[in-house]
Chain A
């Protein structure tokens, strides 16, 4: 009888892992976005969350009223909401069979001031911190945190407001109506209606945003302009590029470029789509608060290293006594990491460059090694400050040798 009881217990004990192992992922790959929205709704009562997957990147957006306090700091309540959404993202990404690599969480202030908080993380880091494979401190260093006033957010409202004023035939913008060629040149006053079909934006600097707007325009032709009817029939498609500089409030729209223009002799047109494409976007979150494209690991690492260079020189007691870090940027071009930073010395010493470059190389090599990242050919460091020994390039192999201590910084400079 005792033996029977023992056998029963053993069978039951075996049932525990077996029964649990046979079950599938909690959040199936088809319902990842839906699961996040459901979690946010059910557990945190957040109903305005949006989510989208692009490749292996999960983007989540939440609009928050009063994201920023009057003293321009992140509002505590808003911070809690962001944490709740982040936790939902973590839960879903860890327990899904969808192979997700990155996630972004964008929180934007609905009060039209362009305040935005973006969290970008590697799903692998989320798992590792749960498994205590990395510390929480290291985990926080690995997350990209951006709290800024995004020109495309505030600029978007201004652009929409402009088109609304045009449609309302407002006298406030009487002076710039002629720019909107040809409807305000050949149309009967008050008959113009511009319908925005598409709007895209690019963050081209911390304050400037470039907007590409595609429209359908309606108007009644003025007498004597019958010849244009065939060229610009009412409801024709038009395009604009608008440059917005948020530092120029209350009139931040700095420039408007139209597709069609009259050269004085003839009507001509520009390829605005191509022009817009030619501009480099320093942001990666679109107007809808979701990532514009799938994030790449090399990009993520370039951003992480750039930020951690700043952190290192600000937080390390020995380094912050000697150096001042003004800026630090990173990008990847042709599989080469390029880090451009401006680090100056308080009291210049002979080994300043050595110390700076050696610390940055150690940091970068350590990060690449920890992510087991091999997809690059080299690393280039450029110090834009007035110090000597500004630039250095190391191939991947040399960087690895440096990490292992087989190469010294003196051999590299």
Chain B
């Protein structure tokens, strides 16, 4: 018996001592029961056996009531710690299964190598990795990556969510942290190392607050315990690697957590790029029967800003749609519809009057033509006069590629697109509807931000004037009345200028607007290809940057 087997046996005994004691006690009691029953006179023996089912049932009920009361009144309900321990090999998420986040994978691979070579590392006096923090938006594969690390490293994996530590009673969270790490250390003792994965770390890792009223004490004490446990690990011979995952910004987490020795390695996991999305589509679509002619590249381009989880969801939804439409394979149309359904919500046709429908059609056609002709970065991929959620119609647009900033032209184009509906209504009927409310709100917010915050006004005001303006936190405004008026006047100028441009455009292209109105009234929805086709008919192309 080698040392590791002996250790695992000892570890099993340590971790299951309660179970072993209970099993021993129950076995002893059962043997005594048989012995006791045998010593009874046959009548009483039969009577006891006859009563056994109801006795067992009642005992179960009593025990259930006791446990319920105990949990509710003494342990703060049934949200007691539920650690999921899985052996590394059984996690069964392989490195190749993690797709679309290649950069993060590269960084994580180093971690895997460190874990694998920990013996060598310790020999040369290196310090083993203690914590790894994965930051990124939801659904981008943080948990997946953590599991893949566990599988590749071949060590046990304990998974918990940060919210599982929080409790109404002060001290419960801290106690759960202690138990979690004790278990992790026990596993590490048996297997050489173990991984503790804490999802939604921000639930306990937020910067500690200190209030004289005592608020936040529970979170503080839980976090303090986590800090101690992570630090305390240094003195141990066996390794527990803590992987934290959060979609909160790094600044939200407590600095003590982020210092070297705790979460000393950080991996940023962002939404996948175009290439990544294509790989993700390729990976997930293999799980359903699909039309081999589907252009995955086109799908990936359409799914800008989508996370792997969202892409997975799109494919699942598409499979449902295909099933509902009695098709055996998922087609591009199903995927497209699934994407719209997820993005825009379910269609629900409202009974509108003919005039109302026409007004909506002009409004959406106004947006459509303005976007297509004036917007430098966005493409229209769908126009609809079918109501969804709160809107009566919509023009769906998205950037042609991932963009992380917007320049002045793009922002102005956003305003123009917002005003397109209003202008079309006005040209058509001479009046306007309440449907412009949301458009105006967006246009005003953009124009205001351009002037007040982004230094994009023609008057040359630069700086973020909102920091000086009055707010709930800062009741006193440091801006003069005159300056405020000037800034507001610049905002108005931008709006007016944009309005004028849109009016000129739509009047000029009114024929196209009317054509789209006609098409929308007939078909209710126009797809990307149809829209492209109509513009081509009139010899129009996408916005191109003026020379």
Residues in chain A within 8 A of chain B (CB atoms): 1-2, 5, 8-9, 12-13, 15-17, 19-21, 23-27, 91, 94-95, 127, 130-131
Q: Are B34 and A15 in contact (CB under 8 A)?
A: yes
Q: Are B43 and A130 in contact (CB under 8 A)?
A: yes
Interface string of B25-51 (1 = CB under 8 A from A): 011001101100110011111111100
Q: Are A20 and B43 in contact (CB under 8 A)?
A: no
* 27 A-B pairs (CB sep. < 8 Å): A1-B12, A1-B16, A2-B19, A5-B19, A8-B27, A9-B26, A9-B27, A9-B30, A12-B26, A12-B30, A15-B34, A16-B37, A19-B37, A19-B38, A20-B37, A20-B45, A20-B48, A21-B46, A24-B42, A25-B42, A26-B41, A26-B43, A91-B41, A95-B41, A95-B42, A95-B43, A130-B47
Q: Closest B-chain residue to A1, C-beta based? A: B12
Q: Are A21 and B49 in contact (CB under 8 A)?
A: yes
Classify chain B's interface size.
Answer: 20 to 34
Q: Closest B-chain residue to A131, C-beta based? A: B47
B12-30 interface (Cβ within 8 A of A): 12, 16, 19, 23, 26-27, 30
Q: Using Cβ atoms and an 8 Å threshold, which residues of chain B touch A15?
A: 30, 34
Q: Using Cβ atoms and an 8 Å threshold, which residues of chain B touch A5?
A: 19, 23
Q: Using Cβ atoms and an 8 Å threshold, which residues of chain A touch B38?
A: 19-20, 23
Known: A23-B42, A26-B41, A26-B42. A16 touches B27 (CB 8 A): no
Q: Closest A-chain residue to B51, C-beta based? A: A131
Q: Are B33 and A94 in contact (CB under 8 A)?
A: no
Q: Are B23 and A95 in contact (CB under 8 A)?
A: no
Q: Using Cβ atoms and an 8 Å threshold, which residues of chain A touch B33?
A: 16
Q: Closest B-chain residue to A91, C-beta based? A: B41
Q: Are A12 and B43 in contact (CB under 8 A)?
A: no
Known: A15-B30, A19-B34, A23-B38. A95 touches B44 (CB 8 A): yes
Q: Using Cβ atoms and an 8 Å threshold, which residues of chain A touch B31?
A: 12
User: Does residue B52 face the partner (Cβ distance < 8 Å to A)?
Assistant: yes
Q: Closest A-chain residue to B30, C-beta based? A: A12
Complex: A20 Cα to B30 Cα, angstroms: 12
Q: Closest A-chain residue to B27, C-beta based? A: A12
Q: Using Cβ atoms and an 8 Å threshold, which residues of chain B touch A17?
A: 49, 52
Known: A1-B12, A2-B19, A21-B49. A16 touches B34 (CB 8 A): yes
Q: Closest A-chain residue to B45, C-beta based? A: A20
Report the minimum CB–CB distance from A184 to chain B (whole Å): 58
Residues in chain B within 8 A of chain A (CB atoms): 12, 16, 19, 23, 26-27, 30-31, 33-34, 37-38, 41-49, 52
Q: Are A127 and B43 in contact (CB under 8 A)?
A: yes
Q: Closest A-chain residue to B44, C-beta based? A: A95
Known: A17-B52, A21-B49. A94 touches B30 (CB 8 A): no
Closest 8 CB pairs of A and B: A94-B43, A95-B41, A95-B42, A95-B43, A20-B37, A12-B30, A26-B41, A26-B42
Q: Using Cβ atoms and an 8 Å threshold, which residues of chain B touch A91?
A: 41, 43
Q: Closest B-chain residue to A6, C-beta based? A: B23
Complex: A27 Cα to B46 Cα, angstroms: 14
Q: Closest A-chain residue to B23, C-beta based? A: A5
Known: A12-B30, A17-B52, A20-B49. A94 touches B41 (CB 8 A): yes
Q: Using Cβ atoms and an 8 Å threshold, which residues of chain A touch B48?
A: 20
In the complex, number of A-B residue pairs with CB atoms less than 8 Å apart: 61
Extra A-B contacts (13), CB below 8 Å, given A13-B30, A27-B42, A95-B41: A9-B26, A9-B30, A16-B30, A16-B49, A19-B38, A20-B38, A20-B45, A21-B46, A23-B42, A25-B42, A26-B43, A95-B43, A127-B43
Most buried by A among B31, B37, B43: B43
Q: Closest A-chain residue to B12, C-beta based? A: A1
Complex: A5 Cα to B27 Cα, angstroms: 10
Most buried by B among A20, A24, A26, A127: A20
Complex: A257 Cα to B488 Cα, angstroms: 146
Q: Are A16 and B42 in contact (CB under 8 A)?
A: no
Complex: A20 Cα to B19 Cα, angstroms: 28
Report the minimum CB–CB distance from A212 to chain B (whole Å): 42
Q: Using Cβ atoms and an 8 Å threshold, which residues of chain B touch A2?
A: 16, 19
Q: Using Cβ atoms and an 8 Å threshold, which residues of chain A touch B12?
A: 1
Q: Closest B-chain residue to A23, C-beta based? A: B38
Complex: A20 Cα to B37 Cα, angstroms: 6
Complex: A8 Cα to B34 Cα, angstroms: 15
- Among candidates A20, A26, A94, residue contacting B34 with C-beta atoms closer than 8 Å: A20
Q: Using Cβ atoms and an 8 Å threshold, which residues of chain A touch B49?
A: 16-17, 20-21
Q: Using Cβ atoms and an 8 Å threshold, which residues of chain B touch A24?
A: 42
Q: Using Cβ atoms and an 8 Å threshold, which residues of chain A touch B47?
A: 130-131
Q: Are A9 and B23 in contact (CB under 8 A)?
A: yes
Q: Using Cβ atoms and an 8 Å threshold, which residues of chain A touch B27?
A: 8-9, 12
Q: Closest A-chain residue to B52, C-beta based? A: A17
Complex: A56 Cα to B361 Cα, angstroms: 102
Q: Using Cβ atoms and an 8 Å threshold, which residues of chain B touch A27?
A: 41-42
Complex: A19 Cα to B49 Cα, angstroms: 11
Report the minimum CB–CB distance from A93 to chain B (whole Å): 9
Report the minimum CB–CB distance from B140 to chain A (whole Å): 36
Complex: A25 Cα to B45 Cα, angstroms: 10
Q: Using Cβ atoms and an 8 Å threshold, which residues of chain A touch B26?
A: 9, 12
Q: Closest B-chain residue to A9, C-beta based? A: B26
Q: Closest A-chain residue to B48, C-beta based? A: A20
Q: Closest B-chain residue to A97, C-beta based? A: B42
Q: Using Cβ atoms and an 8 Å threshold, which residues of chain B touch A9?
A: 23, 26-27, 30
Q: Using Cβ atoms and an 8 Å threshold, which residues of chain A touch B16?
A: 1-2
Complex: A359 Cα to B49 Cα, angstroms: 41
Most buried by B among A16, A23, A24: A16
Most buried by B among A21, A24, A95: A95
Complex: A296 Cα to B538 Cα, angstroms: 117
Complex: A1 Cα to B26 Cα, angstroms: 16
Complex: A1 Cα to B13 Cα, angstroms: 11
Q: Using Cβ atoms and an 8 Å threshold, which residues of chain A touch B37?
A: 16, 19-20
Complex: A15 Cα to B37 Cα, angstroms: 11
Q: Are B43 and A16 in contact (CB under 8 A)?
A: no
Complex: A249 Cα to B75 Cα, angstroms: 84
Complex: A303 Cα to B23 Cα, angstroms: 57
Report the minimum CB–CB distance from B44 to chain A (whole Å): 7
Report the minimum CB–CB distance from B105 to chain A (whole Å): 36
Complex: A21 Cα to B42 Cα, angstroms: 9
Q: Using Cβ atoms and an 8 Å threshold, which residues of chain B touch A19?
A: 34, 37-38
Most buried by A among B19, B33, B48: B33
Complex: A2 Cα to B19 Cα, angstroms: 9
Complex: A131 Cα to B42 Cα, angstroms: 14
Q: Using Cβ atoms and an 8 Å threshold, which residues of chain A touch B30?
A: 9, 12-13, 15-16
Q: Closest B-chain residue to A13, C-beta based? A: B30
Q: Are B45 and A23 in contact (CB under 8 A)?
A: yes
Q: Closest A-chain residue to B24, C-beta based? A: A5
Q: Using Cβ atoms and an 8 Å threshold, which residues of chain B touch A127?
A: 43
Complex: A127 Cα to B44 Cα, angstroms: 10
Q: Closest A-chain residue to B35, C-beta based? A: A19
Report the minimum CB–CB distance from A388 to chain B (whole Å): 51
Complex: A16 Cα to B53 Cα, angstroms: 12
Complex: A131 Cα to B51 Cα, angstroms: 10
Report the minimum CB–CB distance from B40 to chain A (whole Å): 8
Q: Using Cβ atoms and an 8 Å threshold, which residues of chain B touch A25?
A: 42
Q: Closest B-chain residue to A12, C-beta based? A: B30
Q: Closest B-chain residue to A15, C-beta based? A: B34
Complex: A27 Cα to B23 Cα, angstroms: 36
Q: Closest A-chain residue to B43, C-beta based? A: A94
Q: Using Cβ atoms and an 8 Å threshold, which residues of chain B touch A131?
A: 47
Q: Closest A-chain residue to B33, C-beta based? A: A16
Report the minimum CB–CB distance from B17 to chain A (whole Å): 13
Report the minimum CB–CB distance from B245 to chain A (whole Å): 29
Report the minimum CB–CB distance from A127 to chain B (whole Å): 7
Complex: A21 Cα to B27 Cα, angstroms: 20
Report the minimum CB–CB distance from B26 to chain A (whole Å): 6
Complex: A287 Cα to B52 Cα, angstroms: 47
Most buried by B among A5, A127, A131: A5
Report the minimum CB–CB distance from A4 to chain B (whole Å): 10
Q: Using Cβ atoms and an 8 Å threshold, which residues of chain B touch A23?
A: 38, 42, 45
Complex: A25 Cα to B16 Cα, angstroms: 43
